């Protein structure tokens, strides 16, 4: 391995707010140089004193700390099987993420992408970008295009950004961040969703023994993550009946309307899970699936969801399903075998966009005042059953909610015959008409 050279330097390209300059560790390999941040900053005069043979009592302690940082860097370099800046960055990221939030986000995002969970990875990226802008004094409302790429580049280079140690994330820090987000026009629900990602990383750091549990800022008598307002998305039976009886004006509109109905009839299945359905999961008048959203996070406790295929749902499969019906073929022509994780995500997003577009047009055409999206089908499924007197336990199981632990402990599952009786309530339009 060709030798590398490390040195402690003062980066005088840009002064900090207090007039000092950041002290960095410079690594040189094959005439290429890269700079890595430290926790120190000095004026040029004081840095010269710091690096002198006799720094004096005032600078001696910091000099020892900086030399320790340099020594650790050299140890990491020596343990590399081969040297490259990418390999060094990867090793440093792995080590630094244990104590610092931005690095922890990078490690989590990389892990999620490797697992093919691109939606979650994108969500963690959005949360990280928000915190990055808050820490660096940038307006979050302007994180678009070029700014996103700039943040990603800075995260990758680790050369010019202020770290966020877990020890700096206090109750007051979280309160101030919440105010900043709301002032920038973000909803309290968004604040809550972003901070749940930070709480997850904080818990991971504590579990690994890298951060003291005493520093944990979340929970009762500390900072409680806001839950936001639960917006009612369900449709009344009268509006659902309008969608069922609507006459589509085009094939695309008919297909999207029918996929929405299929979601409503089949336990409020979301588009991603619907797109991933294969014919081998269908058994006579049932379809069994596991939610993609929970199969990684709750693998040890996730349970298969069994949805009853009503006659209407079976007709939708016959009309729009892939043919021939091979065991390992996808039911609906949203995905195909051999797609990358990125391509799969793009196809699912496009399917959601198409369904939402045509359902909005249908809703306007039949006089439905509420916004109708793919989420509406899921909420309508649960609400209609609740209004019909179906137990919360059954609905929770049907939706695949993993947080109904107590219910699942004493009520394991429902028999398929019972499900057939209950599922018929979803299309009880005659009963609705008589009562109206």
pLDDT in tens, the chain (436 residues): 458 899 999 999 888 878 899 899 999 998 889 888 887 889 999 999 999 988 887 788 888 888 988 998 888 888 888 888 877 876 766 555 567 898 889 888 888 887 788 888 888 999 998 998 898 887 655 545 445 556 665 555 444 567 788 989 999 999 999 999 999 888 898 999 999 999 999 998 888 787 889 999 999 899 999 876 555 678 889 999 999 999 999 999 999 999 999 999 998 899 999 999 999 999 989 999 988 776 655 544 567 889 999 999 999 999 999 999 999 999 999 999 999 888 999 999 999 999 999 999 999 999 999 899 998 998 888 888 877 777 777 777 777 665 544 333 322 445 455 667 677 778 776 555 555 5
Which conformational region is residue 219 in: left (phi greater than 0), alpha (psi within -120 to 50 degrees), or beta? left
Q: How high is the pLDDT of residue 112?
A: 86
Any idea of the CA torsion for 110, 112, 114, 116, to the nearest 10 degrees? -140
Closest CA to 48 of 21, 13, 84: 21
CB proximity list for 408: less than 8 A, separation 6 or greater: 303, 396, 397
The token pair that represents 227 in the structure block? 């839950």
The token pair that represents 142 in the structure block? 């302007």
Q: How high is the pLDDT of residue 425?
A: 75
Let me know: does 334 contact 262? Beta carbons within 8 Å.
no
Q: How high is the pLDDT of residue 407?
A: 31
The three-state DSSP-derived secondary structure of the chain is CCCCEEEEEECCCCCCCCCCEEEEEEEEECCEEEEEEEEEEECHHHHHHHCCCCCHHHHHHHHHHHHHHHHHHHHHHHHCCCCCHHHHHHHHHHHHCCCEHHHHHHHHHHHHHHCCCHHHHHHHHHHHHHHHHHHHCCCHHHCCCHHHHHHHHHHHHCCCCCCCEHHHCCHHHHHHHHHHHHHCCCCHHHHHHHHHHHHHHHHHHHHCCCCCHHHCCECCCCECCCCCCCCCCCCCHHHHHHHHHCCCCCHHHHHHHHHHHHHHHCCCCCHHHHHCCEHHHEECCEEEECCCCCCCCCCCCCCCEEEECCHHHHHHHHHHCCCCCCCCCECCCCCCCCCCHHHHHHHHHHHHHHHHHHHHHHHHHHCCCCCCCHHHHHHHHHHHHHHCCCCHHHHHHHHCCCCCHHHHHHCCCCCHHHHHHHHHHHHCHHHHHHHC
Q: How high is the pLDDT of residue 294?
A: 66
Which pTM does this prediction carry?
0.62
Domains along the chain with CATH numbers: 5-93 (no CATH), 97-215 (no CATH), 237-435 (1.10.443.10)
The dihedrals phi and psi of 296, each to the nearest 5 degrees, come to -90, -50
């Amino acid at each position: 391995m060709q030798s590398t050279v490390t040195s402690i330097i003062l980066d005088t390209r840009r002064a900090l707010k207090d007039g000092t300059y950041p002290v960095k560790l410079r690594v040189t390999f094959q005439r290429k140089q890269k700079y890595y941040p430290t926790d120190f900053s000095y004026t040029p005069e004081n840095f010269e004193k710091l690096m002198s043979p006799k720094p004096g009592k005032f600078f001696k302690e910091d000099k020892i700390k900086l030399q320790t940082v340099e020594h650790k860097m050299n140890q990491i370099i020596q343990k590399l099987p081969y040297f490259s800046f990418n390999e060094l960055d990867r090793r440093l990221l792995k080590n630094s993420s244990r104590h610092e939030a931005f690095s922890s986000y990078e490690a989590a995002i990389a892990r999620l992408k490797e697992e093919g969970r691109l939606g979650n990875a994108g969500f963690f990226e959005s949360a990280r970008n928000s915190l990055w802008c808050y820490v660096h004094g940038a307006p979050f409302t302007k994180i678009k295009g070029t700014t996103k790429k700039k943040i990603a580049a800075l995260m990758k280079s680790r050369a010019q950004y202020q770290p966020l140690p877990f020890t700096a994330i206090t109750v007051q820090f979280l309160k101030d961040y919440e105010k900043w987000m709301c002032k920038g026009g973000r909803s309290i629900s968004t604040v809550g969703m972003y901070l749940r990602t930070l709480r997850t990383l904080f818990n991971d750091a504590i579990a690994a023994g890298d951060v003291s549990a005493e520093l944990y800022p979340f929970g009762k008598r500390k900072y409680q993550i806001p839950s936001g307002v639960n917006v009612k998305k369900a449709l009344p039976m009268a509006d659902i009946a309008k969608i069922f009886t609507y006459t589509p004006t085009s094939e695309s509109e008919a297909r999207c309307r029918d996929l929405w109905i299929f979601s409503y009839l089949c336990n409020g299945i979301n588009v991603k899970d619907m797109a991933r359905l294969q014919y081998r999961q269908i058994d006579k008048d049932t379809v069994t699936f596991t939610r993609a959203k929970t199969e990684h996070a709750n693998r040890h406790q996730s349970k298969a969801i069994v949805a009853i295929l009503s006659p209407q749902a079976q007709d939708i499969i016959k009309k729009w399903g892939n043919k021939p019906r091979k065991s390992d073929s996808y039911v609906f022509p949203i995905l195909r075998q051999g797609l990358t994780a990125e391509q799969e995500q793009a196809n699912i997003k496009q399917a959601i966009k198409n369904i939402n577009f045509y359902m909005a047009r249908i809703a306007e055409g039949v006089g439905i005042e509420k916004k109708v999206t793919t989420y509406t089908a899921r909420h309508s499924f649960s609400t209609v059953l609740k209004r019909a007197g179906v137990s919360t336990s059954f609905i929770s199981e049907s939706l695949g909610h993993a947080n109904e632990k107590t219910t699942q402990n004493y009520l394991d599952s429902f028999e398929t015959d019972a499900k057939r009786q209950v599922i018929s309530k979803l299309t009880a339009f005659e009963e609705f008409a008589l009562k109206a």
